[in-house]
């Protein structure tokens, strides 16, 4: 199990260890925060209001993300006064990379860290050898871990 409290810090630490600072975009970060929060009790129905209050995400941003997450098949929405959001897929079927890919695409993190369109071992940028190692470790964590792999017992923040 991965402790949620330290998971995102771990991802940043991987990058900082290699001398690179990278942060998930707000969109990916919020999508992961929403789903990890919901995954602690996957059978519950979560209202937009409760998610907004607990996660401190604006109403407009949260609803836009929930629409995307619903269209991508992670959650479903129940309309009406007693409505809310619940999981459509089980948390053990949702990989972290799937969430990032759904809201912005993992390609954001797969390319050259300096933004060059063509950056390869044959034609590398100055950061290439360092970034390849970091990217492989980052991709390994995000493609290999599901929401269920996170440690909800120790988490104090989402």
Task: Of 52-56, 123-127, 133-137, 153-157, give the lowest mean pLDDT range.
Answer: 153-157
* CATH class held by domain 2-149: mainly alpha
User: What is the pTM (predicted TM-score) of this model?
Assistant: 0.79
Length of the chain in terms of residues written? 158
Q: What is the pLDDT of residues 1-38, one digit of tens each?
A: 554 444 454 445 444 444 455 678 899 999 999 999 99
**Three-state SS at 3:** strand
CA 108 vs CA 88, 115, 127: distances in Å: 26, 10, 16
Q: What is the pLDDT of residues 115-144, one digit of tens each?
A: 788 888 888 888 888 888 888 888 888 999
Distance CA 7, CA 86 (A): 23
Distance CA 123, CA 138 (A): 22
């Amino acid at each position: 199990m991965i402790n949620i409290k330290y998971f995102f810090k771990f991802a940043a630490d991987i990058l900082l260890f290699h001398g690179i600072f990278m942060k998930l975009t707000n969109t990916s970060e919020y999508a992961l925060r929403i789903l990890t929060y919901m995954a602690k009790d996957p059978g519950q129905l979560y209202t937009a209001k409760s998610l907004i209050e607990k996660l401190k995400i604006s109403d407009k941003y949260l609803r836009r993300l929930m629409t995307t997450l619903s269209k991508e098949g992670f959650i479903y929405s129940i309309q009406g006064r007693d409505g809310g959001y619940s999981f459509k897929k089980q948390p053990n079927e949702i990989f972290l990379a799937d969430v990032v890919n759904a809201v912005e695409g993992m390609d954001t993190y797969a390319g050259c860290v300096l933004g060059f369109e063509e950056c390869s071992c044959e034609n590398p940028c100055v950061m290439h050898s360092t970034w390849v190692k970091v990217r492989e470790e980052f991709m390994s964590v995000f493609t290999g871990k599901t929401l269920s792999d996170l440690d909800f017992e120790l988490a104090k923040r989402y």
